[in-house]
Amino acid sequence: MPKSRLVTLTYLLLVFGSGTLVGAVAHRLYMATTVTATVPPARVLTPAEARQQYLDKMRKRVGTSEEQLVRVNTLLDDAKHKYDELDLQAKPLREKIDQERIAGILAVLTPEQQKSYLAWRAEGKAKREKERQEKARNEQSSARQTH
């Protein structure tokens, strides 16, 4: 075999060999599995659990006496009642704003779109109600377990 053919064959083998090697390395890198850390979601405290935790911290970190804790607990009850009253007062205003928003959206939509929009809202309302009922059941069962 002449020298030029031997050199050409060597170059071809080098090119194809290096391509095969690069392809193998690239495939290995592409197929490598990645590691993801999973953190369990934090448990949401019920209002009663949150209050108890708050009072425990007041006792341990601040050093409040039992008499002081009774007074703090009374203040927490009072604040909760005030927040509840505020929510009741604001509810009609929120409902009015919602109705204005819905009416405005319906005015923009065609009759066919209005039907779809109202159906979509009804589905969302049903879903929220179902979630609210499940949450109430879960709170009741967790309250039973703690007593």
Q: What is the mean pLDDT of residues 45-62?
A: 91
Structure tokens at 77: 């009850």
Q: How high does pLDDT run on average in the chain?
A: 89
Band (43; pLDDT cuts 50, 70, 90):
confident
Which secondary structure element, helix H or strand E, spans residue 133, and what is its range?
helix 111-146
Share of the chain above pLDDT 70, in %: 95
* CB contact at 8 A, 55 and 72: yes
Domain boundaries, the chain: 44-93, 109-147
Q: Residue 147: pLDDT above 60?
A: no
**What local confidence, expressed as pLDDT, does residue 45 receive?**
84
